[in-house]
Structure 1
Amino acid sequence: MSPTFPRKKTATPASAKPKRTPKIQQQDDQALETIEVKAVEVTEVDVISNVTSEELNQDEQRDRLNLERKVEHAFYEAGKALKELRDRRLYRSTHKTFEEYCRDRFGFTRMSAALKIASVKVMDNLSTNGLQNAETSKGGLQERKMSTNGLQILPTNERQLRPLTNLEPEQQREVWKQAVQEAGGKIPSGRIVQSIVDKIRERTKIPNPYREGEICILVPRDNPDLRGKGGCWGAITHAGDFSCTVQTWDGEYTVKIEHLKSLELLDDDCKSMQQLCMRLRRLHQVADHDPSVDWLLQGLGKQAKPYLSALQARILGAMEREYGLDGKK
């Protein structure tokens, strides 16, 4: 049996003794306990909401609508200006051709300028047939309102108008109306407009406006197969119901008719460009040709004109002689 020893009493250290809270501190703690603080989170949405809820006076509202119209219709005004510059030949003091003028002055390609000009006609058709934006008064403020048939909304860029350029005026209006409805009453994208045009073409069999032998420019738009081919010209070798086969200097492409833009040349000019296309194709097919050949082919392949300059003719002829192609027609 193990011996037992008496327990020693352990003294509490002085530092361990509980400290008495001063009365002043106790009173402060009691006061703090009775204060209830509610945290309110201020979000960015609240700030924006407070800012946007401020009403505009009549002058400010008028200025806002005018500025919005300018932003929405900037492409339309550009197209109108380009059309007048072209029709009146106001570029003639500095440039020989409208194409060169657009490139040097605005950085526009021939196709880009042509699309802007073409959009004017379509926009005018939509704007003069009850499709224009209406304004109604509500609470002292002007607001845009879409009519019950969904035709009050107008395009805001040329991409939305491109699929409409080959349609009749009535078809243009009908397609745009359906596009607005499909977009939920908002401005439709060019893709929505194109999808509706495709459906109508399949249903109504809109005739192909192009013919064999015609010279056209390739318009890539949303076609990934034509990437990098914008502005290239070619001769139509087959015209189907909804598409055409186009022969260019570097190959053949089967494309929908909305990916083509006719140069509207006379028959003799079309034949001249067909012959030029064959010359370029033969040169392109020469094995292990010099890189300078490609530079020339790419340049002439985008020069949509039925003739060559004197220098271009000499250079092309020299390259053909270099590879034994001179004398071939």
Structure 2
Amino acid sequence: MSKPPPRRKKTTRVASGKPKPATDSAKKKPSRQDEPASVTIDVSAVEVPELTPEEERDRLNLERRVERAFYEAGKALMELRDRRLYRSTHKTFEEYCRDRFGHSRQQSNYLIAAANVYENLTTNGCQNVGDGNLTTNGSQILPSSERQVRPMVQLKPEQQCVVWQQAVEQAGGKIPSGRIVKDIVDQIRERTKIPNPYHLGEICVLVPKDNPDLRGKAGYWGAIAHVGDYSCTVQCWDGDYTVKIEHLKSLELLEEDCQFMQQLCLRLRQLHSLAGRDEAVDWLLQGLGKQAKPYLSSLQAKLLTAVEREYKIEWKRQK
């Protein structure tokens, strides 16, 4: 007997619990009740009260103090230096400035020089303006930072006034930046012969910039031995260098400090002239030749004296 063909199982679809997507026609348009309610917020204007006459005076006084901050600092540092009011705690003004104020003597010198320029501008009334163009100090447009006057430090008082007036005009009647002042000083140097600001015996640092003859000499200090129209000859520990004034930076030392460094330079030059000297001598010379400070530490002084004794060099301080 032949077997009957197997029966096929019937498959039935199971209705899922998910609702069928509604057709476009079945979609309902949102009613007004479904839309979020719009809220109207009333903002009242806050009236800023004008400054009272007393507040105006206070603001003017505070602005003046901010503007004059670098000037007051420079004048105070000048008195501390000139009267040597640091002598009870420190041997040198440089050490005092570093420990007390956290900056170098050079920074102090910048502030002192800037204070002199500021005082000149205010004394001579170099930039008076009309009532319609008053600045915060009420009558003059004056510097508000040391960097704005640094390029004018080496100029004569009357030249400082001219430069500052031109800088204010170029800045549109506002306080000019240091770059604007420097550009005007450079232009004046090109047009007119500004006297060489350096003098014999002054201690300066070499600034190589783009001068190939000074390559590797950055930081070398020396004493001015000759002053020309636009250049100077500087005596350093390893020789003489004749450079333009833009390749020099004065340390602005007191006369007694300059004399100390002049004597030190002669001592270093004498050691440098020794033939067959030990390499350790060159290390000492290079170290002291780049240390632009008007003093030696106790150890440095002992080392220098020991080397001089080793080579039988008797050195007596010259007057």
TM, length-normalised to structure 1? 0.66
The corresponding residue for 2:10 is none
What is the alpha-carbon distance in structure 1 between the residues aligned to residue 217 and residue 141 of structure 2? 33
| Mapped contact 1:136–1:145 kept (Cα < 8 A) | no
The corresponding residue for 2:112 is 117
Residues 55/198 of structure 1: CA separation in 2 closer, same or farther (3 Å cut)? farther
Aligned residue among 240, 245, 256 for 1:256: 245
- Residues 35-184 of structure 1: matches in 2 within 5 Å? 54=48, 56-58=50-52, 59-131=54-126, 144=135, 152-184=140-172
Instruction: Check if 1:26 corresponds to 2:13.
Output: no
Instruction: Check if 1:275 corresponds to 2:266.
Output: yes
| Mapped contact 1:133–1:144 kept (Cα < 8 A) | no
The corresponding residue for 1:234 is 222
| Mapped contact 1:72–1:157 kept (Cα < 8 A) | yes
> How many angstroms does 1:197 deviate by?
1.7
What is the alpha-carbon distance in structure 2 between the residues aligned to residue 74 and residue 27 of structure 1? 69
| Mapped contact 2:127–2:161 kept (Cα < 8 A) | no
> How many angstroms does 1:126 deviate by?
0.7
Structure 1 counterpart of 2:250, one-letter code = L
> How many angstroms does 1:78 deviate by?
0.7
> How many angstroms does 1:280 deviate by?
6.3
Residues 63/15 of structure 1: CA separation in 2 closer, same or farther (3 Å cut)? same
The corresponding residue for 2:203 is 216
What is the alpha-carbon distance in structure 2 between the residues aligned to residue 190 and residue 17 of structure 1? 75
> How many angstroms does 1:312 deviate by?
4.1
The corresponding residue for 1:42 is none
What is the alpha-carbon distance in structure 2 between the residues aligned to residue 17 and residue 99 of structure 1? 89
> How many angstroms does 1:276 deviate by?
2.9
> How many angstroms does 1:84 deviate by?
1.9
The corresponding residue for 1:319 is 307
> How many angstroms does 1:125 deviate by?
0.9
Residues 124/91 of structure 1: CA separation in 2 closer, same or farther (3 Å cut)? same
> How many angstroms does 1:76 deviate by?
1.0
Gaps of 5+ in 2: 1-18, 39-44
Gaps of 5+ in 1: 1-13, 37-49
What is the alpha-carbon distance in structure 1 between the residues aligned to residue 116 and residue 225 of structure 2? 29
> How many angstroms does 1:175 deviate by?
0.6
> How many angstroms does 1:187 deviate by?
2.3
> How many angstroms does 1:171 deviate by?
0.7
Instruction: Check if 1:302 corresponds to 2:297.
Output: no
Residues 268/328 of structure 1: CA separation in 2 closer, same or farther (3 Å cut)? closer
TM, length-normalised to structure 2? 0.67
Structure 2 counterpart of 1:57, one-letter code = L
What is the alpha-carbon distance in structure 2 between the residues aligned to residue 272 and residue 290 of structure 1? 18
Structure 2 counterpart of 1:217, one-letter code = C
In angstroms, what is the RMSD of aligned CA positions?
4.8
* Secondary structure at the counterpart of residue 236 of structure 1: strand
Structure 2 counterpart of 1:249, one-letter code = W
* Secondary structure at the counterpart of residue 305 of structure 2: helix
> How many angstroms does 1:327 deviate by?
6.4
The corresponding residue for 2:280 is 289
1:205-255 superposed Cα distances (whole Å, 9 cap, x missing partner): 1222434x52323386x958799956x631224433223243333674724
The corresponding residue for 2:15 is none
Residues 194/243 of structure 1: CA separation in 2 closer, same or farther (3 Å cut)? farther
> How many angstroms does 1:79 deviate by?
0.6
> How many angstroms does 1:290 deviate by?
7.4
> How many angstroms does 1:309 deviate by?
7.4
| Mapped contact 1:163–1:194 kept (Cα < 8 A) | yes
Residues 157/287 of structure 1: CA separation in 2 closer, same or farther (3 Å cut)? farther
* Secondary structure at the counterpart of residue 29 of structure 2: helix
**Which has more helix, going by share of residues?**
1
What is the alpha-carbon distance in structure 2 between the residues aligned to residue 318 and residue 60 of structure 1? 67
| Mapped contact 1:134–1:146 kept (Cα < 8 A) | no
| Mapped contact 2:226–2:233 kept (Cα < 8 A) | yes
